[in-house]
Structure 1
Amino acid sequence: MTRIVDYELFEVPPRWLFLRIETSDGVVGWGEPVVEGRSKTVKAAVEELMDTYLLGEPVNPIEDHWQTMYRGGFYRGGPVLMSAIAGIDQALWDAKGKALGVPVYELLGGAARERIEVYQWIGGDRPSDVAEEAKRKVEQGFSALKMNATEEIERLDDPAAVEAAVDRLRQVREAVGDEVDIGVDFHGRVTKPMAKRLAAALEPYEPMFIEEPVLPEQNDALPDIAAHTTIPIATGERMYSRWDFKQVFENGAVDVIQPDLSHAGGITEVKKIAAMAEAYDVALAPHCPLGPIALASCIQVDACSPNATIQEQSLNIHYNETSDVLDYLADPSVFDYEDGYVSIPDAPGLGIEINEAHVREQAEKDVDWHNPVWRHDDGSVAEW
């Protein structure tokens, strides 16, 4: 019986944590367990889970491993534990698929599509120069874009702040036309009253969705916001399990869910969240501003989820200043984007080959990424 015999963790730039597990048959599986800006904390959680529950255990019973890691501890959920579980889960699926010689999606019911549309980020943290950047990305072949709606925004901000957000979206829409989708990310920076005002003001320019219009702890406000707009509402990057998603499915306010395959319990859990969403006529668009292992995991779930609609990917995103997604792959062509889509891979496991020598080289560097702390004009902390 093939067992888990060893593991290693690698903190690599720009802000990622990779997990390598090895089996008694010599098969290697890769996962990406990380909370951006909290990689050392998640690293400790992965070590605790691997040492306590998984070393020496058989690879194949992944569902039982998931249940053990989640339910074996009295305290459950949250970003750190669920991200640690997520990366381990990815690595287990990668190893199992490689051992059986099939892509992970074949073990989850088989492919429901041949390719999935992707979107490209524009504009940076404080969105600027969006029209020119949008035109360049469309010329490169992307058919969907996403940008931040605002920079810092006050709890009750002035009309100029609303108009600035509208003007940015207007510029992009005029630059790329009506055949390009434009997602607008509120990034949890916006309070309920401002979310209602912004949604109404942005509506004439028909964004693909407004993302995380309020923080997850304010999800009870989503029905009220949805009543003020016909724009599809997306959320979920800071929700970590099917139990976190129950409320938004039941209140009917969300049209697109965005669980993160490196935060929401991995492939095992997100496949279940996707199936729940399908029952509520909610689309799946996994969150992924991360590295190649996270993206590969997303695509495996996209492949076998009928309600998957579009996939975030982080090539050239504003966070990737020192290393990028393709740098860690032995064959970067697996993520070639054609006509705004990426093909579903047919290689075993997660469908990618990690350049292990490059990972080890990059892991020698000092990696200490943390998100900025923004402040309002009065000195109080602003949402980033």
Structure 2
Amino acid sequence: MKIGRIETFYVPPRWLFVRVESDDGAVGWGEASLEGHAEAVDGAFEALRDRFIGHDPRRIEDIWQVSYRGGFYRGGPVLMSALAGLEQSLWDLKGKVVGLPAWEMLGGRVRDKIRAYAWIGGDRPSEIADAAKVRRDQGFSAVKMNATAELDWIGTPRLFDEVVKRVEAAQATGMDVGLDFHGRVHRPMAKQLAKVLEPLGLLFIEEPLLSENPDGLRQIAELTSTPIALGERLFSRWDFKPFFEMGAVDIIQPDLSHAGGILECRKIAAMAETYDIAVAPHCPLGPLALASCLQLAACTPNVAIQEMSLGIHYNVGHDLLEFCSDQQVLTPEDGYLRIPQGPGLGITIDEDAVREAHKERHRWRNPVWRHSDGSFAEW
């Protein structure tokens, strides 16, 4: 068996799907979505095609090693996202050939389902409460929300009170809450806000500082008992290693479409397990990314919860499930997502719909926010 074709598809709102076909007609799908940079990732596939057309698709680890190490320059969001999408598609193809889910080939199932959460937005407590109720009706028992868009270097207790009220509004609907700082808050304010939030019993605070400031993250971790989460902007086990060693994180959030794919994230999770660190994969992406995350959750003991982006609001008019032929596989129930039982990634992609959507070739770009004084604000 040889790889005969590697195709990429721009799928709205902001996804990049990968399709690999062997010379005897076996097909696998993956997702190489890197929000706002689809063209760059697509360009990286030119080198992957040159190197791997004619290669045995079942030799997944060999393909990963050659791809990562064979180009001299390695790592980073673009190359690792391309490699992730290719790697996912190879697990999907191999699983369909041998009739096994990817999790079965990676050691077998350790759970039947995984708890899931979804993002909510809103400026006022009433808006947050309404959004949380929508998620509850969709089958979730946990949500994540932004901490704030306003806190900069210095602030006031009034701003802290607004954050607390928004969290309490979501919790009043029966939801558990994780709070995402998005790296928007500078260290002096992040330290104060972490202390103010501690009594609320949050699932986690995410990116209280950017991962570019590991010493600051360690300081915050020492100030609060609330779990610290980060990792969506880290792209390999080497990127995660220093955070494990310094004790600056309690929950890691690798993105399986940014951090090298399913097996690389399984290796990252195994490293985390030795430090008693939980895994909550980042996934505000499409169905193939989510299906890949569920393969990881199935066979990885320290995966604790899974993010998903259900609904058209978050996905800018497109639903996570619209390109799936078997939507129930990725639908939450009683707060959980079931582990897919089908071969490969366990979902079926509507290829005709994907090819039709690709004709538009989306040009999604990250929005830009500014503080009230006109200065740039972190996304």
Asked if the contact 2:3/2:55 (under 8 Å) is kept, the reply is: yes
Q: Which residue of 2 aligns with 1:293?
A: 288
Distance in structure 1 (CA, Å) of the matches to 2:125 and 2:262: 32
Question: Is residue 72 of structure 2 the alignment partner of residue 77 of structure 1?
Answer: no
**Cα deviation, residue 152, structure 1:** 3.6
Asked if the contact 1:127/1:151 (under 8 Å) is kept, the reply is: no
Q: Which residue of 2 aligns with 1:37?
A: 36
Asked if the contact 1:284/1:310 (under 8 Å) is kept, the reply is: yes
Asked if the contact 1:123/1:130 (under 8 Å) is kept, the reply is: yes
Q: Which residue of 2 aligns with 1:48?
A: 47
**2:54 aligned partner, one-letter code:** G
Distance in structure 1 (CA, Å) of the matches to 2:76 and 2:150: 26
Q: 2:95 aligns with which of 88, 94, 97?
A: 97
Q: Which residue of 2 aligns with 1:181?
A: 176
SS of the equivalent of 2:322 reads helix
Distance in structure 2 (CA, Å) of the matches to 1:109 and 1:215: 34
SS of the equivalent of 1:298 reads helix
Contiguous gaps of at least 5 residues in structure 1:
none
**1:3 aligned partner, one-letter code:** K
SS of the equivalent of 2:115 reads strand
Distance in structure 1 (CA, Å) of the matches to 2:123 and 2:358: 26
Range that drifts further, 192-201 or 274-283 = 192-201
Q: Which residue of 2 aligns with 1:228?
A: 223
**1:29 aligned partner, one-letter code:** G
Q: Deviations over 1:158-191 (max 9, x none)?
A: 3332222111112222232xxx321111111111
Distance in structure 1 (CA, Å) of the matches to 2:236 and 2:214: 15
Q: Which residue of 1 aligns with 2:163?
A: 165
Range that drifts further, 15-24 or 140-149 = 140-149
Distance in structure 1 (CA, Å) of the matches to 2:283 and 2:122: 16
Q: Which residue of 2 aligns with 1:218?
A: 213
Counterparts of 1:1-384 in structure 2 under 5 Å?
A: 2-51=1-50, 53-123=51-121, 129-176=127-174, 180-316=175-311, 318-384=313-379
Q: Deviations over 1:250-298 (max 9, x none)?
A: 1112111000000000012101001001111001110000000000000
Asked if the contact 1:196/1:228 (under 8 Å) is kept, the reply is: yes
Asked if the contact 1:115/1:342 (under 8 Å) is kept, the reply is: yes
TM-score by length of 2: 0.96
Cα distance change of structure 1 residues 9 and 303 upon mapping to structure 2, 3 Å threshold: same
Asked if the contact 1:14/1:319 (under 8 Å) is kept, the reply is: no
Distance in structure 1 (CA, Å) of the matches to 2:270 and 2:310: 28
TM-score by length of 1: 0.95
Asked if the contact 1:127/1:147 (under 8 Å) is kept, the reply is: no
Cα distance change of structure 1 residues 132 and 322 upon mapping to structure 2, 3 Å threshold: closer
